Structure 1
Amino acid sequence: MTKATSCGGVVIFRGKILLLYKNYRNKYEGWVLPKGTVEAGEEFKETALREVKEETGVDASIVKYVGKSQYSFNTSQDVVMKEVHWYLMMSDSYFSKPQREEYFVDSGYYKYHEAYHLLKFTNERQILEKAYSEYIEFKKSNLWGRKKYY
């Protein structure tokens, strides 16, 4: 068994959530949140911001850590146990550009209920729920849009 660690973001702009559509040779298809593997010497926050930028072209800023998800999958050689650390993030524009090299063919911002139903994986829907409720709390407290949160 191999262990792997990734980090990603629930990126929100004007109440909408950034999603990516992946189509890998028509075998793997679906909407996902941006995330990727931690590189040597990198902090989780740095990984999350870098991966969001690489996969979507979005310059996001971290608002708050929202938790982790865990899952496993099989490769031809091994079983991989994956842990993903998630951050609530803010963007300052609707711009996004999917990273073609990673087989992302579309990206965009969606209303919460659309995003929730579009997401392929249950664990990402759970993270979206948690992150969005945090976002609503920031909005109620009139804190969303301030530059420092933590």
Structure 2
Amino acid sequence: MIEAISCGGIVIYHGKILLLYKNYKNRYCGWVLPRGTVEEGEEFAQTAVREVKEETGVDAQIIKYIGKSQYSFQGTNDAVHKSVHWFLMKSSSFYSKPQKEEHFLDAGYYKYHEAYHLLKYSDERQMMERAYREYTSMYRGYSRKRR
């Protein structure tokens, strides 16, 4: 079995969550969160920021580490066990541009309930749910301090 590690971001801008739509030869299509493979010598946080930028064009800053999801699938020659480390991130802009070379056709920010129903994979929904709870609790704490 091959072990693989990726990192990604749940990017939020004004309460909306950044998603990507991928369509690869009509065999793989659906809405996903930005993520990608850790390069040699790279820290997980660096990978998450880089992958978000490459796949969406968004300059995002990490707020905090959210957790790890894991799954397995059959690769070309062997089974692959993948771990994905997720970070809650924020953006200072609504701008996004999907990376066409990776077969992303669309990118955009969606309200929580829309993003929840659009996401293709349950593990990504769980991580988004965790990140959004953290985001809303931080925001409530911030607004109370300003009163």
TM range (shorter): over 0.9
The match for 2:11 is 11
- TM-score, with normalisation over the residues of structure 1? 0.94
The match for 2:25 is 25
**What is the aligned-residue RMSD (CA, Å)?**
0.7
- Partners of 1:73 and 1:103 in 2: how far apart? 20
The match for 2:48 is 48
Paired residue secondary structure (1:55): helix
Please list the CA deviations of residues 82-123 of structure 1 after superposition, one character each: whole Å capped at 9, or x if unmatched. 000000000011100000000000000000000000000000
Matched AA of 1:97: K
- TM-score, with normalisation over the residues of structure 2? 0.96
The match for 1:93 is 93
Moved over 3 A (4+): none
The match for 1:107 is 107
- Partners of 2:137 and 2:84 in 1: how far apart? 23
The match for 2:138 is 138
Structure 1 position 76, deviation (Å): 2.3
Say whether 1:76 aligns with 2:76: yes
Structure 1 position 124, deviation (Å): 0.1
- Give structure 2 stretches of 5+ with no counterpart: none
Q: How many residues align?
A: 143
Paired residue secondary structure (2:142): coil
Determine what percentage of the aligned residue pairs are the same residue.
66
The match for 1:63 is 63
